[in-house]
């Protein structure tokens, strides 16, 4: 009998008693301090910034308009609220029809979703929480882009609704973070996660396996350290190369070799075995099924990936 890995879906079902789905939204005007020049330019080497927009044409209607933490005015807030409503309506309807979701968690996914004036964040988050059948929010951000004011506000919100903050940890090795032009070090991530936990917030950590120059031991050390920081949920991803990124250039010059499927499966299996059982899993792989993917080829087909992963987990008596 194989042991089922504790998934985020199970966590939500146990807590809310029905199927809950995350509804990803992408609001125009949000950017990232690692792209706009505040901490660096160009972004992480693997980030194809446009790829974040979930192909919703209306997400592009404010092209050229960007917020940052110093912005004092936001002339496009009404348009952003409209986008939020439109995206939520369209996706929640689809998720209900396709997988029977009865309740929803709005996931602010693209770019850095705490990197805007506080009033803008508050208005958008509260609008999202006002939609029918929404049980809470998950907010994707960077460790260097969340103010004390926002932490405090989210902590208050979390007393009456479900609040998650998602941080890109990626690696605990500063040499790796530097090499991928992350724009912050591992201390920044550790401090942000500790702070989020001290505010009583739920934290999801994103980990990438196969970063340039990393060994299996380094990847597993990152996973162990992430768990020890007290994350409540985890997303595991392989690093893959897409067009129009700095990583694509490194790959073309032969300076980066993507992780093999075999190694990814090995690392993933061990990372799951090291994981405390209370930490839920939100994602075990990633890929892209279109011609923007350069390498590795195995990241193209999600179904095959999931099958291979389950075969690997089987050898450890686990299933996803
Ligand atoms: S932090 Fe996120 S949005 Fe910003 S450059 Fe890196 S991957 Fe892209």
Q: Is the CB of 258 under 6 A from ligand 1?
A: no
Tens digits of per-residue pLDDT, 251-262? 999 999 999 999
pLDDT at 55 > cutoff 50: no
pLDDT band, very low/low/confident/very high, at 121 (cuts 50, 70, 90): very high
Tens digits of per-residue pLDDT, 223-245? 999 999 999 999 999 999 999 99
Q: Is the CB of 105 under 6 A from ligand 1?
A: no
Tell me which of 137 and 289 has the higher pLDDT: 137
Least confident of 8-12, 33-37, 60-64, 200-204: 60-64
The rounded distance, in Å, linking the Cα atoms of 142 and 186 is 11
Tens digits of per-residue pLDDT, 146-161? 999 999 999 999 999 9
Tens digits of per-residue pLDDT, 295-308? 999 999 988 999 99
The rounded distance, in Å, linking the Cα atoms of 251 and 295 is 9
Q: Is the CB of 43 under 6 A from ligand 1?
A: yes
Q: Is the CB of 35 under 6 A from ligand 1?
A: yes
Please state the atom number of ligand 1 nearest to the C-alpha of residue 42: 5
Q: Whose CA is closest to 135, among 111, 107, 154?
A: 107
pLDDT at 218 > cutoff 50: yes
pLDDT score recorded for residue 73 = 83
Tens digits of per-residue pLDDT, 272-292? 999 999 999 999 999 888 899
Query: Does the 3-319 domain belong in CATH 3.30.750.200?
Result: yes
pLDDT at 53 > cutoff 70: no
């Amino acid at each position: 009998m194989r042991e089922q890995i504790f998934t985020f879906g199970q966590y939500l079902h146990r807590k809310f008693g029905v199927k809950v789905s995350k509804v990803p939204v992408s609001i125009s005007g949000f950017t990232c301090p690692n792209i706009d020049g505040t901490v660096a330019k160009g972004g992480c080497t693997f980030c194809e910034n446009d790829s974040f927009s979930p192909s919703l044409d209306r997400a592009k209607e404010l092209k050229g308009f960007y917020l940052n933490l110093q912005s004092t005015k936001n002339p496009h807030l009404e348009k952003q609220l409209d986008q939020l409503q439109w995206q939520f309506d369209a996706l929640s309807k689809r998720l209900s029809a396709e997988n029977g979701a009865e309740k929803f968690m709005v996931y602010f996914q693209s770019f850095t979703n705490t990197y805007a004036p506080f009033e803008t964040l508050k208005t958008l988050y509260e609008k999202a929480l006002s939609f029918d059948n929404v049980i809470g929010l998950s907010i994707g951000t960077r460790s260097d882009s969340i103010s004390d004011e926002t932490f405090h506000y989210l902590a208050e919100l979390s007393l009456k609704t479900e609040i998650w903050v998602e941080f890109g940890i990626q690696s605990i090795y500063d040499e790796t973070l530097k090499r991928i032009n992350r724009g912050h070090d591992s201390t920044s991530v550790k401090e942000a996660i500790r702070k989020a936990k001290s505010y009583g917030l739920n934290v999801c950590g994103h980990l990438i396996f196969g970063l340039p120059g990393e060994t299996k031991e380094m990847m597993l050390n990152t996973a162990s350290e992430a768990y020890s920081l007290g994350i409540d949920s985890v997303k595991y991803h392989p690093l893959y190369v897409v067009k129009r990124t700095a990583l694509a250039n490194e790959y073309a010059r032969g300076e980066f070799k993507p992780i093999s499927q075999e190694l990814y499966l090995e690392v993933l299996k061990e990372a799951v075995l090291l994981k405390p059982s209370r930490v839920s899993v939100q994602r075990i792989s990633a890929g892209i099924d279109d011609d923007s993917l350069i390498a590795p080829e195995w990241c193209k087909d999600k179904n095959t990936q999931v099958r291979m992963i389950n075969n690997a987990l089987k050898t450890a008596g686990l299933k996803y």
